[in-house]
Amino acid sequence: MTVVYSIEAPYRGRYELHRLTFGSGSPRVAIVAGLHGNELNGMHAVNMLAAALRAQRPRGTVHLFPLVNTFGADEARKRWPFDDRDINKAFPGDPDGTAVQRIASALLDATDADVCVDVHSGAPHVRELPQVRVPLSGRELELGRAMGLPLVWRREGARLQASGLIGAWRDAGRQALHVVGGRGITLDTGHSATIARGLKRLLGHLGLVRHVDPNETVADVTRVEVGVHRAATGGFFVPEVRVGALVKPGHLLGYLQMPIGGDRIGELRARRGGVVVTVRAWPMVYAQELLVRVAGTDST
């Protein structure tokens, strides 16, 4: 383990940006997790990958950054705790700037690689099926598909996250993949293991390691193939499905109830068949908030 950057902290130990490096030479891959301090699945997945790479030295270089926002993680916070800034909004960063700008700049320098992956959880109020978000075409789509994660989400334009670490990597001419799985605040060991297998398949595709896990992709979609269900009114959402469930049109996805007393306000039924890729986890909802997403599969 190498400390690639550190900052003096006012009332506790120094902030340190840790990197684990396996192998040497080309190709070079960098995998980042914990840019948001409350997103634990990526951290766990990257540590699982580290265990695999200790057993099998890669033919090429793999840089792992299991947890960037250590101080945020200490306090279960997404952002940097001192000034409540989002490190992912500080790219490309500034070596003479504020703490988050310095960290962003150091991370961008330290992830000088051919292929870069940024792993996130969903927001704390939703659970996401492990997925990779990629452009509509090109090398990143090929690499994303090679991960074999349950969902490949091809996104256009602004939805592709032109800003943040992903955008900064693309501006620097690196191939960048955005992985999301599970929900914030929560460690889901199953989703973490799925993400770890996806990372290993990517390394396998690039020729760095042998990989044996079969592809797990259930849906490979663009936005128009994703059915988005929002709350018709405010209420308390009780889901009847989990992420990964296969549903047919009309399948009961959940109920909206009165928060006090539990009277049923309405029910949510799938408009299309496919796989459930997002489920609201925090039940208190306002009108128009996201409840469930269903992505079309080949069989639907």
User: Looking at beta carbons, which residue is closest to Zn ion?
Assistant: 120
- Of residues 196 and 253, the one with the C-beta less far from Zn ion: 196
Contacts of 108 (CB under 8 A, 6+ apart): 91, 92, 93, 165, 168, 169, 172
- Of residues 39 and 188, the one with the C-beta less far from Zn ion: 39
Does residue 183 touch Zn ion according to CB under 5 A? Answer: no
Query: Of residues 15, 19, 30, 36, which one binds Zn ion by CB under 5 A?
Result: 36
- Of residues 133 and 201, the one with the C-beta less far from Zn ion: 133
- Of residues 58 and 164, the one with the C-beta less far from Zn ion: 164
Task: Provide the CA 188 distance to its chain's centre, in angstroms.
Answer: 13
Query: Of residues 19, 79, 120, 133, which one binds Zn ion by CB under 5 A?
Result: 120
Region of 120-128, 155-163, 171-179, 264-272 interacting with Zn ion (CB under 5 A): 120-128
The least distance separating Zn ion from the CB of residue 36, rounded to whole angstroms, comes to 4
| # residues near Zn ion by CB under 5 A | 3
Q: Name the token pair of 212.
A: 């044996």
The least distance separating Zn ion from the CB of residue 113, rounded to whole angstroms, comes to 20
Region of 19-27, 39-47, 143-151, 253-261 interacting with Zn ion (CB under 5 A): 39-47
- Of residues 40 and 241, the one with the C-beta less far from Zn ion: 40
Region of 35-43, 66-74, 79-87, 217-225 interacting with Zn ion (CB under 5 A): 35-43
- Of residues 22 and 80, the one with the C-beta less far from Zn ion: 80
The least distance separating Zn ion from the CB of residue 13, rounded to whole angstroms, comes to 24
Region of 116-124, 163-171, 222-230, 237-245 interacting with Zn ion (CB under 5 A): 116-124
Region of 6-14, 32-40, 104-112, 264-272 interacting with Zn ion (CB under 5 A): 32-40
Contact residues for Zn ion, defined by CB under 5 A: 36, 39, 120
